[in-house]
Amino acid sequence: MSTLRTAVTGGAGFIGSHLVDYLMSKGHYVKVFDNFSAGKIENIRQWMSHERFELYKVDLKDRNAVFEKLKDVDVVFHLAANPEVRLGSQDPYAIYSDNVEVTFNVLEAMRLNGIKYIVFTSSSTVYGETNVRPTPEDYSPMEPISVYGASKLACEALIMGYAHTFNIKALILRLANIVGPRAQHGVIYDFIHKLLADPTQLEILGDGSQRKSYLYISDCIEAIYHLFREFTKSNALIEVYNIGSQDWITVKEIADIVVEEMGLKGVKYRFTGGVEGGRGWRGDVKYMLLDVSKALEKGWRPKHTSREAVRLAARALIKEVGKC
C-alpha cells in the first residue's frame, strides 16, 4: 500500500497507541488527536520527534478546533471515545458527548475538509443480549442494553448517513473485549488493582459465570490494518466486520488466570451476585461471542485464543504496575 496520511483520534489511549506504533512501523504519516482524558503521553513518547508524527492536544468536543485541525489526511481512524461501559448508568451524558458528539464533529470535519475514509472502532455491545451466538454482523434486532452500546450504535448510524450523503467511505469494526499492555480499564485491569490492594480476597462483580470473548491487542491491530487495506481495494462504500477471537472465557476463569500470574495462593473470591441474574452491573452483556467468519474470509486470523489473550494481557499489565 502506498504511504498514507493518517489521523488517529484517541491515539494516546490503549488501542490507539498500539495502532500508532503499527502505522509508524509501516512508514505511514500519523497525526494523533487526543485530549489525554484517558490517554497517556508515555504511550506515544517514542514518536514525538519523528518527522512522520504530529500530536494535536485537542478536545474533539470542541467543534471549531476539530474543523481547523483535522485535515490533510487520507483516513481517520476514529478511536476517541469514553469506553467505560459501566459509566453509562451513572453519567449517560458523558458517554453521549464523548462518543456521539465527538463522532459528529469528526464527520463534519471530514465533510468540510474532504477526507475520504473513516475507520470506526465500534463494539460488540451494539447487539445487546443476543440469542444467536456466535453473533453475525446481520443479527437483529440491534438492541443495546447499555448507554455505551447505544452510543456506539448511534455513531454507526451517523457514519452510515454521512457515507451515503457525502460519499465518505466507512469501515466499521465491532470489537470484542480487547486486552493487552497499556489497557487502563476492563476486568483484568480491575482484578489486578483489587488484588494489589488486598491479596487475600477478590471481589467479582456478578456471579462469575459471565462468558465473553477476549482478543489480544496485536490481533486487533492486525485486523484493523488488514481490513482497511482490503477495504481500499474494494468499491464498497460501507463495510461492517466483527472482530474477536473464536472462543470465550468466564469471568471466574479470568480471575483464576490473574491470581496465578500474580503468584498468589488461597485468594477468597467474593461474588457480588450482580443484577438481573448475575450480570456484573446494569448494562453488562452476560454472554458475548462474535461470529468473525466475514473477517476470516478476508484473510485475517487471530493468533491467540481468549484464554491466551487474557494470560498475556495479565502478565503485561502486572509488569506495568510493577514499574509504576
Footprint of ligand NAD (CB under 6 A): 10, 12-16, 33-39, 59-61, 79-83, 98, 102, 121, 123, 175, 177-178, 184, 186
Shortest Å, Cβ 27 to ligand NAD: 23
Say how many C-beta atoms besides its own lie within 10 A of residue 29's C-beta.
19
Residue closer to ligand NAD by CB (options 126, 255) is 126
Cell of 163: 457515507
Cell of 260: 496465578
Cell of 253: 476463569
Residue closer to ligand NAD by CB (options 35, 168) is 35
Shortest Å, Cβ 241 to ligand NAD: 13
Residue 16 CB contacts under 8 Å (≥ 6 apart), including other chains? 8, 9, 10, 32, 34, 39, 43, 77, 79, 80
Residue closer to ligand NAD by CB (options 99, 259) is 99
Report the amino acid identity of residue 49: S
Shortest Å, Cβ 268 to ligand NAD: 28
Active-site entry in 148, 162, 189, 241? 148
Shortest Å, Cβ 102 to ligand NAD: 5
Cell of 312: 498475556
Residue 269 CB contacts under 8 Å (≥ 6 apart), including other chains? 201, 202, 204, 208, 252, 255
In angstroms, the CA 194 to CA 203 distance is 8
Residue closer to ligand NAD by CB (options 9, 278) is 9
| Residue with nearest beta carbon to ligand NAD | 13
Residue closer to ligand NAD by CB (options 155, 168) is 155
Shortest Å, Cβ 80 to ligand NAD: 4
Q: Kindly state the helix (H) or strand (E) to which residue 16 belongs, with its residue range.
A: helix 14-25
Q: Is 148 a catalytic residue?
A: yes
Longest CA–CA separation in the chain, Å: 59
Burial class (CB in 10 A: 0-12, 13-18, 19+), 226: middle
Catalytic positions, written as ranges? 148
